[in-house]
Amino acid sequence: MAETLAVRHSWQGALIVARGDEDALLPTMGAPVNLVVDDVRVRAQIVGVAEGRFELAATVVPDPLRAAGTADARIEFVAEGGPCRLLGSAALASRAATESRPGLNVLFAHERPGQLLLRSDRVRARVEVEIEVDVRGLSRRTRTVDLRGGGALVRGPLDAQIGDRVRYSVRVPGRRETVEGWARVARVTEEGDVAIQFDELDEDDRADVMLAVFQAQREAR
């Protein structure tokens, strides 16, 4: 029998899918995350894990946190079910404690597990970024019309048919390296745009794509 999840909406309008404590949602070591303080969002990575606490590394930290040293904060991350958030507090780590680690480090403390904000199949937004697609040996540089958790709608026309296997390289907001891999053509619109379904992404690539799309969804509201 399929699992039924309770659904509610937060005061910010985000869809929250409630789960029991046995399904505690927490980011894992090495996971890419968004650190958010007063709606200022920066990309970071989990570099340390302890009971009720994470250590994050980032190239920059939110200005409100830099100014105050500590602040209420949240982490946005991706679990198997989709984008999640974890509420807590953030503090700048001392340089002496983290001098062997690159970047700026933040200690994030929490008391409760995360919340699933949006199921993976609903992660989709208009995100226009550069994408290179190789179809039948011919490479074409174009742009996306939208991105979703497992694929993209690519601006055409492209010489592609439903079922074709294509190679792609897409620039995802918030990430320096492109996300690359194989995909299958799932649909061709009347305008000639091509929907591609990514083959299975590794955890980091999937998280970066979903975080970028989820952020675009929030900004579009």
Location of each CATH 2.40.10.220 domain in the chain: 124-220
In CATH, 124-220 is 1.10.150.170: no
Q: In this predicted structure, what is the pLDDT of residue 95?
A: 63
Contacts of 49 (CB under 8 A, 6+ apart): 28, 29, 55
The pLDDT averaged over each successive group of 10 residues in the chain (221 residues) is 39 36 75 91 91 93 91 92 92 69 83 85 84 92 92 93 95 87 95 93 87 80 65
Topology annotation, domain 6-121: Pnp Oxidase; Chain A (2.30.110)
Distance CA 161, CA 165 (A): 9
Distance CA 110, CA 64 (A): 19
Location of each CATH 2.30.110 domain in the chain: 6-121
